[in-house]
A and B are shown apart, each in its own frame.
Chain A
Amino acid sequence: MIKAILIFNNHGKPRLSKFYEHYSEDTEQQIIRETFHLVSKRDENVCNFLEGGMLIGGSDNKLIYRHYATLYFVFCVDSSESELGILDLIQVFVETLDKCFENVCELDLIFHVDKVHNILAEMVMGGMVLETNMNEIITQVDAQNKMEKSEAGIAGAPARAVSAVKNMNLPEMPRNINIGDISIKVPNLPSFK
């Protein structure tokens, strides 16, 4: 069972934290910090497995991590998971993120935390691996996003327009139309009762 999935950057700032076992808020933050300390000390060419820190269950649990550019992806698992399998899972997760966000970078994770959570929810559920097929995951996530967009109502109009423009394939169309935030203020006219 996977106990926790953490993503943080090279300075220890959390970019995503999902715990599949209950810890109090303070403990969660402490776990993130402790894990960062353990993982950042590691050299580049040592193995990707560590014993878990004391807070997260000690030597029964293992930390399996991968370092991509500025981010550490850490999965804390217990002994029922295959270590090499989890390494592959991290790889699949990152590739999925890449497909969803187009050349994903840390900024994408920063600004779209909820989307990352949704993708993760399609892969791991309750600490267990749900789906590993990248295309399947992406299809589901896209479908749900579409549902969301269709409900968005008028506040979503700008976003919809932007994506509609992006999807148009007219070569003459200027590419830098920034519609941005349009807040339509309805004047309060007391004379109209």
Chain B
Amino acid sequence: MAVSTVCTTQSLNSTCSISTPEKTHLGFHQNQVVFYRRTSKRGGGSCVITCSVGDSQTVVIGLAADSGCGKSTFMRRLTSVFGGAAEPPKGGNPDSNTLISDMTTVICLDDYHSLDRTGRKEKGVTALDPRANDFDLMYEQVKALKSGIAVDKPIYNHVTGLLDPPELIKPPKILVIEGLHPMFDERVRDLLDFSIYLDISNEVKFAWKIQRDMAERGHSLESIKASIESRKPDFDAYIDPQKQYADAVIEVLPTELIPDDNEGKVLRVRLIMKEGVRHFSPVYLFDEGSTISWIPCGRKLTCSYPGIKFHYGPDTYFGKEVSILEMDGQFDRLDELIYVESHLSKLSTKFYGEVTQQMLKHADFPGSNNGTGLFQTIVGLKIRDLYEQITSSKTAAPLEATKA
């Protein structure tokens, strides 16, 4: 699907130059450059060079979440919606955080740490602190990738805690930047075509971290709790405020279906979608803009305890108009999932049952039986829809220019 814009340059003398595909500042993407030369009728001897820029429409998506909150799972679901599995760059640093698939490249913003682990220890700052991150470099490189220029991005090695030599990143069709601060810097925020924030409540975060860390020697309930508590001030000051800028927020809370539940297995997940975002139409239930409370379990569908409960309605979030779709409970069977999918509207699916198919494809991922997996899949489909809208609108504009 080569989408190209045609640009023409005219030189005053009769020199003609042919541009060749290189990874230069001209921003050509290898294997996609098509050039042809035609002579202009005007101005004797002047030559018209036409070049096509393959990837000037990189779509940039930002994903913000604290560590241990499901960013990797979300990334895997998202890349799977576009087809293919994302993998670390072949032949490069094995500890690279970057994932590359045919359509997408996922960049971890930890690579833009200005202080490595020892540096942060000396200064007494956490990775959450903006002083530990180089936002200027982040802005320059994201801007370059968005305009179709390859960059040499540093690598932050999570195992050693050091900054490794840079790796080359070529501009992809979809660039996802995931980390702690994608929306912190205003300049970077303006480059994002769509942004998502994963908001995990404290109780759920604690339960997830226990599940993650209890297998490690050395960790105990107290150490996990102390780790969360001591990071909380920095998190609340620097990371949490980013949720007001996000176009979609996935909020994960403990369930309301089971009184006094502290296992954290059944979750209540809310998908908060901002209204009025370009190329993004929020999902709705039954009737857009009205408030609906829906329990699908009944005569047509039998669910096991604790069942499923849906809620949809308009609301305001940090002063902005939003629509909230909420799911409490979990799916036990395939037919529950397809039943729910058939009643949701504006899912941006290409065929009936696509959401269910995507969920089944990754049934082993955490959250595949509750709202986290469902809403992550839906957001993935929305991003695909956004990408297709952006690329089709960009091809329309230059075609008109060439006619002139």
Q: Do A and B come from one complex?
A: no
